[in-house]
Amino acid sequence: MKWIAAALLAALLVALPFFAGDFYVNLASQILIAAIFALSLNLLVGYGGMTSLGHASYLGVAAYISALMTSRYGWGHGPAALLSILGTTAMAAFFGLIALRASGLGFLMITLALSQVLWGLAYRISDVTNGDNGIAGLTRPMPFGFSIDSAASFYWFALIVAWFAFLMMTVFVSSSFGSSLKGVRDQPRRMAALGFNPWMIRWITFIYAGFWGGIAGLLYVYYNKYIHPTSLSTTSSAEALLGVIAGGSGTPGGPVVGAALVLLLKNYVSAYLERWNMLLGLVFLFIVLVMPNGIVPGLSRLLRRGSR
C-alpha cells in the first residue's frame, strides 16, 4: 500500500509539467528548492536538537558565490558551483566551531548573530555584492549539455536534485550515525559515557546541513537568476524554520509539507496584500500555540487512531 502510494506520487511529480501550466510548474520548482532547504535545517532542528536561526546563511552565501563568480569573474558554471559548495561547507565548518561552543538558546543566539553579520555584509560591501540592488542578469547552467531555461526542464532538474537530496538526508538520519545523532539530542551525557563524542557528532551534522543548505542556495540562484541580501535575512531563516516546525520537525516528510505550505501561503498572500511579514509572525504564533508538534505528526496520529 505504501509502495503504491509512493510510486503514484513519484509518477505525479514527474508528469506534472505535462498537465500543469508554467505558473504552477515554477511554483513547484520553488517548493522543491524550499523543501531541500527545510530538510537540511531539519537535520539540525529535528534530529540534532540544535535550533538554528541562521540557516539562510548557507543558502545566501552559496547563491552569492555562484552569482559573483559567473557574472563578475566570468567563471563557468561548473567551477563556480564547485567553489560555492566548497566555500559554503567550509563556512559551515567554521560557524559550527563557534556556535557549538554553546547549546540550546546560546546556540540559537550565536547562529542568529552570525547570519545577521553576513546579511549586513551583503548590504554594506556594495562594491562587491552590489548592495541593495542585488546581482541581476544571471544565467542558468547547462548540466550535461541540457538547457534548463524552460520552466519544465528546470523543474525536472530540481526534481532530480531534490530526490537525491531527500535520499541522501534520509540515509544520513537512518544510518547508525543518525541513531547516535538522535542519542546525542536526547541524552548527551549518556552518549558521552558510552564513548561517543557528542561534539563531533553535532559538528559533522552541522557541516552536512550546511552542505545541503548550499545546494538549495545554488538551485535558488539558478531559479531566480537574481540574488538580493534579503535571502540572507532573518526572515528567510525564519521562513525555513517555520516550515520545519509547522510540518513536523524530526520527521522525514514533515519539512517538505511545511516548506510547501509556507511557500504557497507566501505566494498567494503576497499577490493580494503586502503584509507578508505580519502574517508570517501570526502563523508562527498559531503553529507554536496550537500545533507544537507540526502538521504531519498530528495528521498521522489521527490516521493511526482511525485505522485502529
Partner 1 sequence: MQFWIIQGLNSLSLGGLLFLLSSGFSLIFGLMRLANLTHGAFFMLGTYFGATAMRAYSGLNIWVTALGAGIAVAAIGGLFERLVLTRLKTNPLGQVLVTLGMSFIISDACLALWGGDSIPVPTPQNLQAPTRVLGFVFPTYRLVLVGCAIAAAIALYFLLERTRLGAMIRAGVDDRQMARAVGIPVSNLFTIVFCLGAGIAGAGGVLGGPILSAYPGLDGDMLPLALIVVILGGIGSLLGAFVGSFIIGFIYTFGTALFPELAYIILFLPMIFVIAFRPQGLFGRVGA
- Binding footprint of partner 1 on the chain (CB under 8 A): 51, 53, 98, 101-110, 112-114, 116-117, 120-121, 124-125, 233-235, 238, 241, 245, 275-278, 280-285, 288-289, 292
Closest to partner 1 by CB, 64 vs 157, is 64
Q: Helix or strand or coil: residue 135?
A: strand
Which is closer to partner 1, CB of 275 or CB of 301?
275
Contacts of 43 (CB under 8 A, 6+ apart): 169, 172, 173, 205, 208, 209, 212
The nearest distance, CB 128 to partner 1, in angstroms, is 9
Backbone angles phi, psi at 135, to 5 degrees: -110, 115
Q: Do the Cβ atoms of 241 and 55 come closer than 8 Å?
A: yes
The CB-of-156 to partner 1 minimum distance in angstroms stands at 35
Residue closer to partner 1 by CB (options 215, 296) is 296
Q: How near is the Cβ of 199 to partner 1 at its closest, in Å?
A: 12
**Nearest to partner 1 of 159, 287 (CB atom):** 287
**Shortest gap between Cβ of 188 and partner 1 (angstroms)?**
13
CB nearer to partner 1: give 196 or 284: 284
C-alpha cell at 205: 551534522
Residue among 137, 146, 132 nearest 224 (CA): 137
CA–CA separation, 79 and 99 (whole Å): 29
In the numeric block, the cell 499577490 is attached to 271
Q: How far is the CB of 307 from partner 1 (least distance, A)?
A: 29
10 Å Cβ neighbour count for 19?
A: 9
